[in-house]
């Protein structure tokens, strides 16, 4: 479902004329199969977010290739990336990234509005999702009226509402206490089993990694897979 082949990335830093190249990812290769929960663990600064930003097309690699669902996306235009992010990917963030002026219902509804789904279909889908994530009683609440765990449920509902094939998550439990973290991981596991969605989770938390089907470790920009990699 996601294949990364010899991916390297360097950032240019410093003043023009006196720039330095800082290598952040070094020849990273990985393969994640459809329906798997894969995680990448690594310390702060090891390059995890950079890898996720490359896979979601927010930055372009210095070298290497990325394939999503059999299509090479490395040379995609901004328009093609935008379509991929809206149709194929769903995103979950550490800081939830909800819109403060929108209710639970409206935050989850937003991607459907962007996709041009008619109002009545949006209402049906969002109502169903609110039940699924256990927030049917919090439909009219604003983000600041919800707990951290509830806000992340909204984040998950919003990520899933468009039926994406792949969820990309950057430290999804990073802002939660350990009990709430377990709740959110259970919900992710359930949705993964029910819908066969592929999850690509970035974390520095071994507990998150432990519940994954496939685990990678990123250390100073070098990626290693734990266990036996599957040839795709």
Query: Which positions lie near ligand ADP, rule CB under 6 A?
Result: 11, 13, 22, 24, 42, 44-50
Shortest Å distance, C-beta 11 to ligand ADP: 3
DSSP state of 146: S
Q: Return the one option of Mg ion, ligand ADP, none that residue 11 interacts with (CB less than 5 to 8 A, by type).
A: ligand ADP
Give the Cα separation of 148 and 156 in Å (integer): 12
Which residue, 42 or 157, is less far from ligand ADP as judged by CB?
Answer: 42
Please report whether residue 175 would count as binding Mg ion according to CB under 5 A.
no
CB of 231 to ligand ADP, least distance (A): 27
Q: How many residues bind Mg ion (CB under 5 A)?
A: 2
Query: Measured from the CB atom, is 66 or 112 closer to ligand ADP?
Result: 66
Binding test (CB under 5 A) with Mg ion, winner from 49, 127, 175, 180: 49
Choose one: 44-52, 66-74, 182-190, 224-232; the region binding Mg ion (CB under 5 A): 44-52
Question: 40-56: b or e for each residue (b if 16 or more CB lie within 10 Å)?
Answer: bbbeeebbbbbbbbbbb
- Is 143 or 221 the residue whose CB approaches ligand ADP more closely? 221
Length of the chain: 232
Instruction: Give 16 or 79: the residue with its C-beta nearer to ligand ADP.
Output: 16
Q: Which is nearer to ligand ADP, 50 or 150 (CB)?
A: 50
Instruction: Report the alpha-carbon angle 180-182-186, nearest 5.
Output: 120
Could you give the CA distance from residue 7 to residue 24 in angstroms, rounded to a whole number?
A: 10
The span from the CA of 156 to the CA of 133, in Å, is 8
Min CB(25)–ligand ADP separation in Å: 8
The region that residue 134 occupies, defined by phi over 0 for left and psi between -120 and 50 for alpha, beta otherwise, is left
Pairing status of strand 2-13 against strand 63-68: antiparallel
């Amino acid at each position: 479902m996601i294949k990364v082949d010899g991916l390297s990335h360097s950032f240019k830093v410093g003043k023009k004329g006196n720039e330095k190249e800082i290598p952040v990812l070094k020849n990273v290769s990985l393969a994640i199969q459809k329906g798997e929960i894969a995680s990448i663990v690594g310390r702060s600064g090891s390059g995890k977010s950079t890898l996720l930003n490359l896979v979601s097309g927010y930055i372009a690699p210095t070298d290497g290739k990325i394939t999503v669902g059999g299509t090479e996306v490395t040379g995609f235009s901004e328009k093609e990336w935008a379509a991929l992010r809206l149709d194929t990917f769903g995103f979950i963030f550490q800081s939830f990234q909800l819109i403060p002026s929108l209710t639970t219902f409206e935050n989850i509804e937003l991607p459907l509005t962007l996709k041009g789904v008619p109002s009545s279909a949006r209402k049906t889908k969002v109502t169903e999702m609110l039940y699924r994530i256990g927030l049917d009683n919090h439909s009219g609440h604003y983000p600041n009226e919800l707990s951290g765990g509830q806000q992340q449920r909204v984040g998950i509902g919003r990520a899933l509402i468009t039926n994406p094939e792949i969820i990309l998550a950057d430290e999804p439990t990073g802002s939660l206490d350990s009990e709430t973290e377990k709740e959110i991981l259970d919900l992710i596991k359930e949705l993964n089993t029910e819908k066969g969605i592929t999850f690509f989770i970035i974390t520095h938390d071994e507990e998150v990694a432990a519940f994954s089907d496939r685990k990678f470790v990123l250390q100073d920009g070098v990626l290693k897979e734990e266990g036996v990699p599957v040839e795709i």
